[in-house]
Structure 1
């Protein structure tokens, strides 16, 4: 008999979930949040008014458009490269997009391959879709080349390969030429996760340019980062129509609410405004890449809106000392590093001031 107020141990939990903790970066009420790679500049009042108008004119006693073709058309227009709505799929964040991909192409007896260090949610996507999660290491500078990837594919025989560029948490990129060589030499579904592509020094150097020639390519994007739309929860992919149809098979009915579709549509209509601060955030990232070494820290060159900085012998102590001063960064990535998101000028000034007061020992001291 199950207790009226059971503990997890009292429930018939799936065995692979025993001992697991829910994913989540710390959500703390502090003055400076530089831990989850958001765009720190909110939409304008006029933009918020447009979103409110779109929501207020919506229909909520009927189910939303299950295929959201209008939104998919807007996303295709935003991406360009000759894409149409049949090439686009979207969901509640790129997290759900990846779950759809693995729900369609992963599963029992199948493997997902990716390259570490990388995004900490990937193993959870695999676990939740009963897909075996296998990794191969990146090079010492956290980059990849085609030989690294193809050797791992030959060894692992995955059905899904995930290449993250710019990579989270390192910010390093994988050239389009490398991705093209991989696609030419595997039948696996190759997901190129470009969540931070708008922040890259060359955002036009994208795997989207390969879609016309490779039916096994999926390019994943999000509106949560550069678009200043993290609260809107809209991730999407571009791929061959057959891959989109596969995602349609495994999605839950009406998975995108009418509200989500409405506000995402407004954001896309005003893409120039939503992306207006991307150049500022690139400059902020580049300043951190310059100042970090000047202050005696090691940094990893980044093409995203964050930078790894270190190395501390006890990075948790450094993280805590920053937090004690009201600055929240992320304790993730290679040993000894902390990941710092690009913030507003005031936020970065607070970060640099707090960093100067951190006395946690660094490696080698």
Structure 2
């Protein structure tokens, strides 16, 4: 930052950048590889004619908020809309963080938690997950009592491990911490969780929509917000739309941090159509879940360790004898890689060989906790066949 009087702390941050890599199969960012269902695509195309691009978008995204509120049998005051759930997460850090305040978040998890904490001029307080990637509610509660964070973030299902924690685990945390809580549920549509509040008097069809999610607890606890996104299950990553659900009080605080007209009109118009016809995604979601479970079995048969995923991705790494074989193959083909462990080398070998075949996955091979890991988004069925076929060859005779 030489030559500029930037705010203290920014020098510790790197600009967020993702290298553009040409690939035929893109499964590195947990996007949906499906486009819009045809009826929604047609409805969206019809909106283009005469669309008021010259006008600012609705200030409070009233239509989309109303649709979500009606669906969940809540009031519009319980909903806020953002540029993806990431903006709402960042604004929650601004709203409740600040100089000298701690923000607690899981590790390993979404890398932007630490970035948003720093941008909010707050103190990072990462808490560990279990060795298998789950939330231990008793340890989180104990952590919060000791550290006294101003905000607690929980990622469920967790990214990048994919673990889903049951509703009773989340409720135990909500009932026993004193600070506001953000429940980041970007991948909840893939989890097929169950469980509702037995005292919730909403109609059965409404309860089915929130089963297994902390959305089921919005009438019971006022100290949290649940974040959802259109980027994953609904394939709108390119338009950046998400929403927060919580008590009217916590939504008012969040709303103070949101800029005027912050979600563009076209994104809102498309998201409204998607939400109205979201039942059309049922077949896509079922296919992704079926493909995920099939891929898990196939990857395990190759000798890879798979983290337990309830999302649209699988995180895996070589283990045992396979690690040594792949590490040796890596150095034989690419030369010495310096001070890298065998686990790192094995994962690096798979990553590079996949990329040579124009298959782009997420590289976690040098991550302190996830050494040697690759995260693979579930793609289209034929893409998944190609990924598995390539990995089978790499983990078999080609690595000998």
When the two structures are superposed, what TM-score results if normalisation uses the length of structure 1?
A: 0.91
Correspondence for 2:232: 225
Paired with 1:144 and 1:72, the residues of 2 have a C-alpha distance of: 31
Residues 329-348 of structure 1 correspond to what in structure 2 (within 5 A)?
329-332=361-364, 334-348=370-384
Correspondence for 1:91: 82
Paired with 2:107 and 2:303, the residues of 1 have a C-alpha distance of: 26
Paired residues of 1:55 and 1:263 also in contact (CA < 8 A): no
Change over 3 Å in CA distance of 1:302–1:214 after alignment to 2 = same
Correspondence for 1:64: 57
Residues 128-143 of structure 1 correspond to what in structure 2 (within 5 A)?
128-143=119-134
Correspondence for 1:167: 158
Q: Greater shift after overlay, 331-340 or 46-55? A: 46-55
- Indicate which of 182, 199, 203 corresponds to 2:190: 199
CA shift digits 1:147-178 (9 cap, x unpaired): 11101101211111111111000111222112
Deviation of 1:64 after TM superposition, in Å, equals 1.7
CA shift digits 1:215-268 (9 cap, x unpaired): 001111101000111112101110011111112211111101111111111111
- Indicate which of 218, 243, 254 corresponds to 1:211: 218
Paired with 1:127 and 1:336, the residues of 2 have a C-alpha distance of: 28
Correspondence for 1:35: 28
Residues 2-17 of structure 1 correspond to what in structure 2 (within 5 A)?
8-17=1-10
Correspondence for 1:151: 142
Paired with 2:42 and 2:251, the residues of 1 have a C-alpha distance of: 33
CA shift digits 1:116-168 (9 cap, x unpaired): 11111111111111121111111111112221110110121111111111100
Correspondence for 2:181: 190
Paired residues of 1:25 and 1:36 also in contact (CA < 8 A): no
Q: Greater shift after overlay, 37-46 or 153-162? A: 37-46
Paired with 1:19 and 1:325, the residues of 2 have a C-alpha distance of: 36
Change over 3 Å in CA distance of 1:243–1:57 after alignment to 2 = farther
CA shift digits 1:178-227 (9 cap, x unpaired): 22121111221111111000001326211111111110011111010001
Pairing 1:248–2:241 present: no
Deviation of 1:350 after TM superposition, in Å, equals 1.5
SS in 2 for 1:277: helix
Residues 101-112 of structure 1 correspond to what in structure 2 (within 5 A)?
101-112=92-103
Deviation of 1:45 after TM superposition, in Å, equals 4.2
RMSD over equivalenced CA pairs, Å: 2.0
Equivalent residues, number: 353
Q: Which runs of 5+ in 2 are unaligned?
A: 195-210, 324-342
Paired residues of 1:25 and 1:35 also in contact (CA < 8 A): no
Change over 3 Å in CA distance of 1:11–1:119 after alignment to 2 = same
Pairing 1:327–2:334 present: no
Deviation of 1:107 after TM superposition, in Å, equals 1.4
Paired residues of 2:299 and 2:388 also in contact (CA < 8 A): no
Change over 3 Å in CA distance of 1:169–1:25 after alignment to 2 = farther
Paired with 1:25 and 1:234, the residues of 2 have a C-alpha distance of: 20
Deviation of 1:26 after TM superposition, in Å, equals 4.1
